[in-house]
Amino acid sequence: MNETKNNCSCSSIKEMWNDCHSMVMEGAASCGMLEISTGLQTVDNLIGGFEKGKVYLFGGRPSMGKEEFMLSMISDIVIESKLHVLVFSTNHRKNDYIFRLVSSYCGIPTLNLQKGFMETDEWQQLDNNLAAIENAPLYVHDSLDLPLDELMETAWNCIMNKGIKIIFIDSLQMIDLENGVIITYERTARMMHALKQLAIEAEIPIVLGAELGRGGEYRESRADKRPLLRDLMVCSNVEWLADVIMLVHRPEYYEIYKDENGNDLHGRIEIMVKKNALKPLGNILLYYDQQTGIVSENKITRKPESESASLKEMCEDNDAM
């Protein structure tokens, strides 16, 4: 008993500052470079990029551009930063993910790319970027109702054998415990604890996508369509265990075309940082193109529809030949 009482596991501020000071000096030596950049400067400035041992959650309703936002970051990490990324896809087949990633990186409409009906400059764009895409260290595991045990085993295997530096999971709700637990909050609590532990033990960031509930759909005012933390279709453990929570919103979807300052919201996507692990909160307005899935800080310009043959027209021309 006395031994237990004398065993103090507390740390003094001097001891803790020694550790923090080492981190400060490492940051200074690296000129403030982030561990893993999101590829979007405004996002990096707010959340500090992706940090080891932390869990990041992106929430959004369908058609808000949540997956495209995640793909834009994945594309930058694997192609520009050349870091190894593991993606667990629970909503789409592997090919669907790759088509969308190639489409956004090359600026080619996804439908045209899938059907192979592209104009000369689009073929050239694909050819110019194909080597970078093919050599990108991206690994995708697709599984509907992904068992948590399978996720954990695959994650550790890839971390050990493929040098994975960050993991993305497109849908938290589609992870399955496989042990008969049907109470939503209990399932989510166990999953979040397991994923948080994985992030800490493997010293990597884990990024999760999550569907939001229909709460915003029932709010009367158009201005109230913006998502709230309470719209998360999961238990409060998500809020407790996620280090950063961002909600994705596309005003144009709800026929909101101007903000309170009169700025044009056509083709815009709003990222609302609602939790930020001892860092500031804030909103970020980005550009979004539905056809290619490009999410960017700069305005996206593509050829007007009149200057580009539609897929239907190209099909008709092909049939005529």
R_g of the chain computed on alpha carbons: 22
Number of domains in the chain: 1
pLDDT tens per residue, the chain (321 residues)?
Answer: 454 455 556 777 777 777 776 666 666 555 557 889 999 999 999 999 999 999 999 999 888 989 999 999 999 999 999 999 999 988 778 888 888 889 989 989 999 998 888 899 999 999 999 888 889 999 999 887 788 889 999 999 999 999 999 999 998 888 877 665 556 677 778 888 999 999 999 999 999 998 888 777 777 776 678 888 888 866 567 888 899 999 999 999 988 888 888 888 999 999 999 999 888 999 999 999 988 889 999 887 665 544 444 444 544 554 554
- The answer to whether residue 221 sits within a structural domain is yes
- The answer to whether residue 1 sits within a structural domain is no
55 close to 196: Cβ distance less than 8 angstroms: yes
Structural domain containing residue 229: 41-320
| Structure confidence at residue 144 (pLDDT) | 79
- The answer to whether residue 128 sits within a structural domain is yes
Global pTM reads 0.83
- The answer to whether residue 96 sits within a structural domain is yes
- Rounded to 5 degrees, what angle do the CA atoms 14, 18, 23 make? 145
| Structure confidence at residue 306 (pLDDT) | 41
CATH number at residue 48: 3.40.50.300
Cross-strand partners of 142? 89
- The answer to whether residue 149 sits within a structural domain is yes
Cross-strand partners of 283? 272
- The answer to whether residue 2 sits within a structural domain is no
| Structure confidence at residue 215 (pLDDT) | 75
- Amino acid (1-letter code) at residue 308: S
- The answer to whether residue 17 sits within a structural domain is no
Please name the helix (run of DSSP H) or strand (run of DSSP E) that holds residue 106, with its range, or none: helix 94-106
Contacts of 228 (CB under 8 A, 6+ apart): 215, 216, 247
Contacts of 100 (CB under 8 A, 6+ apart): 67, 68, 71, 110, 293
- The answer to whether residue 13 sits within a structural domain is no
CA dihedral 80, 169, 107, 33 (to 10 degrees): -30
Map tokens 């599984």 to a residue.
143
> For 13-50, what is each residue's pLDDT tens digit?
777 777 776 666 666 555 557 889 999 999 999 999 99
Question: What secondary structure letter does DSSP report for 136?
Answer: S
CA-based nearest residue to 229, from 244, 251, 218: 244
196 close to 190: Cβ distance less than 8 angstroms: no
Question: What secondary structure letter does DSSP report for 231?
Answer: G
Question: What secondary structure letter does DSSP report for 301?
Answer: -
